[in-house]
Copies of this chain bind each other. A is one copy, B any other.
Amino acid sequence: MSDYAAAFSAARQAARALAAVPATTTDALLRDLADALLASTDQVLTENARDLARMPAADPRHDRLRLTPERLRGMADDLRTVAGLPSPLGAIISEKTLPNGLELSKVRVPLGVVGIIYEARPNVTFDSLALCLKTGNACLLKGGSDAAHSNAALLAVAAPVLARHGLPAAAATLLPPERAATEALLTAVGLVDVVIPRGSQGLIDYVRQHARVPVIETGAGVVHTFLDETGRLDYGQAIVHNAKTRRPSVCNSLDCLLLHASRLPELPALLAPLAEAGVQVLADAPALGALAGHYPAALLASATEADFGTEFLALRLAVKTVPDLAAALDHIDRYGSRHSEAIISENPAHINQFLQQVDAAAVYANASTAFTDGGQFGLGAEIGISTQKLHARGPMGLEELTSYKWLVRGQGQVR
């Protein structure tokens, strides 16, 4: 850690200073940062081009790495959006006066120093920086080496804006794009309050394996939708199509349709919209029988055991036939990743049982799992979707980047 200890200590000092910065200052800073980003479009794109030149155009990450004038305008808009959100800091979560006269209040405060580890998406740099500053946290940003020039260019835009508003430079630190920096960050016990990995399952597994500081996992979504014997076919058609095809590469997209056996005759109609979208269907034996001759043969295959519990992140859908709700619940418990799960049903008892018993961050009745998103849930912004149960579950907005402390005011009380 020694190579990075100075940077981490500076971040801790900066966090102390940030705790006293008024929300109006932070909001003005974020708006200035939006202006500065647009004014620096040419420099940022030039540096981004250097990164792009190092990555083969066929690499699937190429598009994520690419910045454009339009994307920079989107980033600037996002900065202004965060500036306009109410600050969660200083809110009194609860307060009471104890019988002995002690006045107790539980007050929302920054987490302190937040580490963000991410991959080849330079837009995450300003997104993370904005959400951390808004919540009074110093951030240690560890981007991927693929985006090193882009990230450095973005931090070069941010540094003078921070200085202009009186914030320490260490309020936002870009760590070098080296594995050693990640390891140091993950073991900086006492200096780093939380690390949030934003990226692939491989990154998250690495972080879990190596972290000695608290982590919020933002993991894979193995997402199911169950059409029971009463569920409306039109709802099913719309919801399955939307959840599967809207953005197949995101974590809330549908991976496995669970179908009550009585609905097998309707399966071709249910999946007709998917055939048009070119979705490959991996069906169990009953579903395969129902679909044969009614779904494009080139897009139809037999499901293997490995297809259940897989996050496809592609136009691919597993289909599993179940005899009843209990079997659907068992399947979800066994194969789900506790992210987003849905039932399509007109039976209120089934709906209630599903909502109560499914253990997931977001549990839906008669709606698309594509809604699992901080913006959609009205959080205003999102730093990720937690798949753990500690601290934050599901979409994480500003509040989820805060902690609290207890303030106790007395007049000499002893116990």
Contacts and interface: CB of A to CB of B under 8 A. Distances in A.
Contact of A360 (B104, B363, B377, B405): B405
A411 interface: yes
Contacts of A404: 393
A179 interface: no
Interface in A316-351: 333, 351
Nearest to A239: B414
B410 A365 contact: yes
Contact of A389 (B362, B388, B403, B412): B403
A2 interface: no
B238 A367 contact: no
Interface in A332-385: 333, 351, 355-357, 359-368, 370-372, 376-378
Interface in A193-248: 193-194, 208-209, 212, 214-217, 232, 234-235, 238-239, 241-243, 246
Given A20-B357, A408-B362, A414-B368, A390 B102 contact: no
A376 B209 CA distance: 38
B378 A98 contact: yes
Contacts of A406: 361-363, 372, 377, 393-394
A340 B209 CA distance: 31
A64 interface: no
A181 interface: no
Given A16-B357, A212-B209, A390-B391, A367 B410 contact: yes
A245 to B, nearest CB: 10
A327 to B, nearest CB: 14
A19 interface: yes
Contacts of A367: 102, 408-414
A405 B414 contact: no
Contacts of A413: 366-368, 371
Per CB-CB distance, the 9 closest pairs between chain A and chain B, nearest first, are A367-B410, A242-B414, A389-B403, A391-B391, A235-B412, A370-B415, A362-B406, A368-B414, A214-B390
7 contacts: A102-B371, A111-B389, A362-B407, A366-B411, A367-B410, A367-B411, A367-B414
